[in-house]
Amino acid sequence: MDYRFTVEQEAFRKEFADWLAKQIPKGFDPSKRNYYDDDEWKAAYQKFQKSLFEGGYAAMHYEKEYGGQGKTMMEQVIVQQTIATTCGELSMPGGITMGMALPTIHSCCTEAQKREHIPKILDGTYIWCQGFSEPNAGSDVANCATRAVRKNGDYIIDGQKTWTSFAHMADWCILLVRTDPSVAKHKGLSYLLVNMKTPGIEVRPMVQLTEEAEFNEVFFDNVKVPVENRVGEEGQGWMIAITTLMFERTIGDAIMGPMYERNYKRLVDLAKSTLREGKPVIENPVIRQQLAQAYIETMVLKYHGLRNLSKTLKGGIPGPEGSIGKLLWSEPNQRITENALNMQGLNSQVMRGSPWTIQDGNWQYSYLRAKGNTIEAGSSEIQRNIIGERCLLLPKDSSREARRK
């Protein structure tokens, strides 16, 4: 199998990279991680997404009538890979919008819903968040207790979501709610598109290890959502939520490989430039072994991503094998960032902002942020359950089956 770009694809990649270089805002340094305050970050994202849209590079693979470019998935991947390795921070507030809300709306919504929402996503007007997890429904998403009661053409929503990334910036939310508590738990769910400015919604940011508040608690108190904002039929919420999660777990696959290759080069630079007892740490055999392991894991991720991409190019909605990619990026990231801190010795204790930081404290930030990688988008244990049961067709986890009944 030949994984290289064709001559046309390479020409498109170069054309886009040249265009992108001219869009990078003043002060943004592509050689390191760039940090923003929340309001600045939302504005920077919206401006960047608008420029992509106006430049003819938003949703290359979507139909023109929804604001896409009518090209193939390959052009879309080239655009996303180039952004991720050049100025990923600018697109980050739109991660859930682009990776989950958009493909779900595109594949599951009515024509009217698509025409209403897709163009406003593609031109950067709206940011979306994903309201699935609750205090008692994280891994077990179907345990969702947020209630939606139908009354005169509206659903009245009461309940709480948690860990809702970017809810503090979001204009809209894809929300999983319980519309029927009298049937089996997977059957009583519905899926709604909720405007975050609706009265009764309160967003409370939660501070993470990194000292950022990337996610939030979201409270719903008597929130009125029109019935026409439902996706699919009442009671079909579980199937639509699974579709969203499949998209979530496969978004990264083709994009993570090039990002990890770039990070790997930074790791090697770190090993070459950091001295221990007067010698670069790259001369230490244990560090060399860690670098070799990081390289192997980066290549496995890259080729897994390409294999999945070639499958996706043949059409269809992603399947449970997205869980393999999730494990391949989340677990190595924790090992790689830990190795980077070990290489730095005592300097690993100082954070961004100190004159003693190495490589601007990026590895310290990444080490702390990586802790969430094996939890977000479904924990490692849940991914292994999915791979076992749905990819390898092993017998089901009996304790879970018992709980389900």
Ligand X SMILES: Cc1cc2nc3c(=O)[nH]c(=O)nc-3n(C[C@H](O)[C@H](O)[C@H](O)COP(=O)(O)OP(=O)(O)OC[C@H]3O[C@@H](n4cnc5c(N)ncnc54)[C@H](O)[C@@H]3O)c2cc1C
Per-position x/- string for 359-388, each x denoting binding to ligand X as judged by CB under 6 A, each - no binding:
-------------x--xx-xx-xx--x---
Nearer to ligand X, 77 or 196 (CB): 196
CB of 384 to ligand X, least distance (A): 8
Asked if residue 252 binds ligand X (CB under 6 A), the reply is no
Given the rule CB under 6 A, which of 54-62, 123-131, 237-245, 338-346 is the region that contacts ligand X?
123-131
Given the rule CB under 6 A, which of 3-11, 116-124, 159-167, 322-330 is the region that contacts ligand X?
159-167
- Nearest-CB residue for ligand X: 138
CB of 389 to ligand X, least distance (A): 10
Sign of CA dihedral 367, 213, 105, 45: negative
Nearer to ligand X, 313 or 375 (CB): 375
Nearer to ligand X, 130 or 290 (CB): 130
Looking only at residues 130 through 149 of this chain, which bind ligand X when binding is defined by CB under 6 A?
Answer: 130-133, 138-139
Q: Are 192 and 236 in contact (CB under 8 A)?
A: no
Number of residues that bind ligand X (CB under 6 A): 22
Looking only at residues 81 through 120 of this chain, which bind ligand X when binding is defined by CB under 6 A?
Answer: 96
Is 248 assigned a catalytic role? Answer: yes
Sign of CA dihedral 85, 90, 93, 99: negative
CB of 135 to ligand X, least distance (A): 8
CB of 225 to ligand X, least distance (A): 17
Nearer to ligand X, 163 or 363 (CB): 163
CB of 285 to ligand X, least distance (A): 34
Given the rule CB under 6 A, which of 6-14, 75-83, 129-137, 197-205 is the region that contacts ligand X?
129-137
CB of 136 to ligand X, least distance (A): 8
Nearer to ligand X, 224 or 404 (CB): 404
Q: Which of 89, 248, 297, 321 is catalytic?
A: 248
Per-position x/- string for 300-339, each x denoting binding to ligand X as judged by CB under 6 A, each - no binding:
----------------------------------------
Residues tagged active-site: 248
List of residues contacting ligand X (CB under 6 A): 96, 129-133, 138-139, 163-165, 215, 372, 375-376, 378-379, 381-382, 385, 397, 400
